[in-house]
Amino acid sequence: MPSITLTAANFERTVIDNDIVLVDFWAAWCGPCRAFAPIFERASEAHPDIVFGKVDTEVEQQLAAAARIQAIPTLMAFRSGVPVFSQPGALPAPSLEKLIEAIRALDVAPRSGSAGAAASPSQGAA
């Protein structure tokens, strides 16, 4: 499944409603972002059970600020609505695949109650 565009309007619901969500925070002017984009898209096609979302930090500045994005590209991962990974920098394809395997292996209890915290994810490691 191709990646989807995430905005302030659909970010929280997307993270809450799906088991695994990978989010690429990017900007059109960012060279490393453009280099990572095809790797992210290929992974989205290879893993149709995972939601791959993209946040254009130029368009969604408030969302990027809420997510505490300080460098782009930044890749974030959520499992059952819980932020489990956040790292700036473009990952090579093999590293992205290892990350996906690690996230699949996590046993995470779904976030209870309001998922407002999902809109301002914290750093974690898979």
Size (the chain), residues: 126
Question: In this structure, how many other beta carbons lie within 10 angstroms of the beta carbon of residue 78?
Answer: 28
Name every residue whose Cβ is closer than 8 Å to that of residue 107 and which is 6 or more positions away in sequence. Answer: none
Side-chain-facing half-sphere of 63: CA atoms under 13 Å: 20
Which residues are identified as catalytic? 30, 33
For residues 83 and 121, the answer to whether their CB atoms sit within 8 Å is: yes
